[in-house]
Amino acid sequence: SACAALPRPLGLVPTMGALHAGHLSLLAVAGEECASVAASIFVNPTQFGPGEDFERYPRDEARDLRLLEEAGAALAFAPDASEMYSPGASTAVHVGGPLTSRFEGASRPGHFDGVATVVAKLLGIVRPDHLFLGQKDAQQLAVVRRMVADLDIDVEVVSVPTMREPDGLAMSSRNAYLDAAERRGAARLYRALQRGVAVARVPKSTVHVLQATEADLARPEDDPAPRLEYVALVDADTFEPAAEPRRGHLLAAAARLGAVRLIDNIIV
Ligand code: PAF
**For residue 48, what is the enclosing H or E element?**
none
Share of the chain above pLDDT 70, in %: 100
- 10 Å CB burial of residue 241 (0-12, 13-18, 19+) is middle
pLDDT tens track for 189-248: 999 999 999 998 777 899 999 999 999 999 999 999 999 999 999 999 999 999 999 999
Distance 63 CA to ligand 1 centre (A): 18
Mutate which of 46, 85, 137, 144 to test ligand 1's pocket (most atoms within 8 Å of Cβ)? 137
Predicted pLDDT of residue 202: 78
Predicted pLDDT of residue 203: 73
Distance 251 CA to ligand 1 centre (A): 21
Residue 29, pLDDT > 80, answer yes
pLDDT tens track for 77-92: 999 999 999 999 999 9
CA distance 264 to 40: 23
- 10 Å CB burial of residue 154 (0-12, 13-18, 19+) is exposed
Catalytic residue among 20, 23, 94, 208: 23
Query: Average pLDDT of 47-68?
Result: 97
Predicted pLDDT of residue 56: 95
> Of 162, 148, 184, nearest to 263 (Cα)?
162
Q: Is the CB of 113 under 6 A from ligand 1?
A: no
Range with the lowest mean pLDDT among 9-18, 115-124, 141-150, 196-205?
A: 196-205
Q: Are 34 and 7 in contact (CB under 8 A)?
A: no
CA distance 268 to 203: 11
149: confidence class by pLDDT, cuts 50, 70, 90: very high
Distance 108 CA to ligand 1 centre (A): 14
Query: Average pLDDT of 69-79?
Result: 98
Predicted pLDDT of residue 5: 96
Q: Are 178 and 171 in contact (CB under 8 A)?
A: no
Residue 38, pLDDT > 80, answer yes
Q: Is the CB of 137 under 6 A from ligand 1?
A: yes
pLDDT tens track for 158-179: 999 999 999 999 999 999 999 9
For 181, the 3-state DSSP assignment is helix
213 to each of 103, 177, 182, 216, 260, how far by Cα in Å? 17, 25, 19, 5, 20
Counting Cα atoms < 13 Å in the Cβ hemisphere of 242 gives: 27
pLDDT tens track for 114-125: 999 999 999 999
Predicted pLDDT of residue 97: 98
15 to each of 1, 156, 185, how far by Cα in Å? 21, 17, 26
Share of the chain above pLDDT 90, in %: 98
Q: Is the CB of 173 under 6 A from ligand 1?
A: no
Strands 227-234 and 130-134: unpaired
The verdict on whether 23 is a catalytic residue reads yes
Q: What is the mean pLDDT of the chain?
A: 97
Strands 250-257 and 227-234: antiparallel
Q: What pTM value is reported for the model?
A: 0.98
CA distance 266 to 229: 17
Distance 16 CA to ligand 1 centre (A): 6
The protein residue with its alpha carbon nearest to ligand 1, atom 3, reads: 15
Concatenated DSSP letters of 102-165? STHHHHSTTHHHHHHHHHHHHHHHH--SEEEEETTSHHHHHHHHHHHHHTT---EEEEEPPPB-
128: confidence class by pLDDT, cuts 50, 70, 90: very high
